[in-house]
Amino acid sequence: MKVISLNGKTGYELIDSGDMMKLESFGGVIVERPSGSAVWRRRAPELWSSPVARFIRHSSRGGQWEALSPEKIPGKWVFSAGVFQMELQMTDFGHVGVFPEQAENWDWIHHKSSSIGGDARVLNLFAYTGASSLAAACGGASVCHVDASKKSVDWGRMNLGYGGQESLKIRWIVDDVRKFLRREARRGNTYHGIILDPPTFGRGSSGQLWKIEKDLVEVMEEVLAVLEPGSQSFVLLTCNTAGMTPVCLENMVMPIVTARGGSLSSGEMLLHESEKSGLPCRNLPAGSWVRWETR
C-alpha cells in the first residue's frame, strides 16, 4: 500500500471549487467530485489539470470513478488528520472514507474528551469509518462506535492499525442507532459525550428505514436518556441535509438545554479553499453543526 508522508495539519486541501464540482487533495491524491453547493465559477481552470480521478454521480445511490491518471491511483492510502491517521480508498458512493469538513469538530471532540479526563465515555452514532471516534479516543476517552454498516465498522477497526493507534479504547458495534440507544437506556449506561452525524436516508443493520426528518426527533430524546447527568458533558450533532440549517439543529438539541441547562453554539461546516497566489479563498458549505456543552 502507498503511504504518503504528509505536510500540514490534516493532509487535506480544497484546491478549487465551482461549476458544481470540488477539487481536493487527500494526502497528495487529487480527486474531482460533485458538490451541490459549488454554484459559482472555478477560481482558475489551470488548477484542474492534475486530478487522478473524477467521480461521476449516476443517482443519489451511487456512481463511478473515471480514472484520469490510472497509474497514479492508489488502491488504498494512509491519510493523516492531525492527531490521528486513517486508511482511505475510493468508494462507489464517491466517498474516500473521511469527511474533511468535520476537521474543526475533531479538534473540539479531542479537546472536550481530554478536558473531561480519565474516565470520559464517548458515544459516536452514525459513526462510519470512525474519524470522530479516533479524535475522542486520542483525547483519552473510552469510545463506543455505532454504525449499521459492517463494512464501515470493519474499516474503522482497520484504522487502528496505523500510527500506533492499536491501544486506543474503542468498542466497535454494528447496530441500528435507535435499537442501540433503547438498549443502553434500559441497561442504565450513560456517556459524557455523544456525537451524531445522521444521513438524510439510511438503513439500520436489519434494514430499518432511517429518514432524518421523521426519525431524528425521537433519537434526540433517546440521547438525553443516555447522557451522563451532573458532570462535564457534551453533544455534537452534524448533518449535510438540505434545509437542516444551524438553527434547525439548535432546535433539535433544545430539549437537552431545557433538561440540563448548558450552552449551545452552531454554524456551518465549511471547506476552505487553499491559498493560491492572487486568487480569493472562498468557503464551500458542507452542512451544519450544533454543539451543546455544560458550562
Tell me which residues touch ligand SAM (CB under 6 A).
99, 102, 126-129, 131-132, 147-149, 152, 176-177, 197, 199, 202-204, 208, 210
Question: Minimum distance between the CB of residue 71 and ligand SAM, rounded to whole angstroms?
Answer: 29
To ligand SAM, the closest distance from the beta carbon of 176 in angstroms equals 4
Q: What is the CA radius of gyration of the chain?
A: 19
| Whole-number Å distance between alpha carbons of 256 and 260 | 6
Complex with ligand SAM: residue 205 or 266, whichever CB lies closer: 205
- CB nearer to ligand SAM: pick between 120 and 219: 219
Give the closest residue to 220 by CA, choosing from 260, 269, 267.
Answer: 260
Nearer to ligand SAM by Cβ, of 127 and 252: the residue is 127
Please give the grid coordinates belonging to residue 14.
480544497
- Measured from the CB atom, the residue of 51 and 202 that comes closer to ligand SAM is 202
Q: Which residue has the cell 436516508?
A: 201
- The residues near 40 (Cβ < 8 Å, ≥ 6 apart) are 17, 18, 282
CB of 240 to ligand SAM, least distance (A): 7
CB of 259 to ligand SAM, least distance (A): 24
Smallest separation, CB 181 to ligand SAM (Å)? 10
Exposure b/e, 25-54, CB count within 10 A at least 16 = b? bbbbbbbbbebebbeeebbeeebbeebbbb
Considering the complex, state which of residue 69 and residue 189 has its C-beta at the smaller distance from ligand SAM.
189
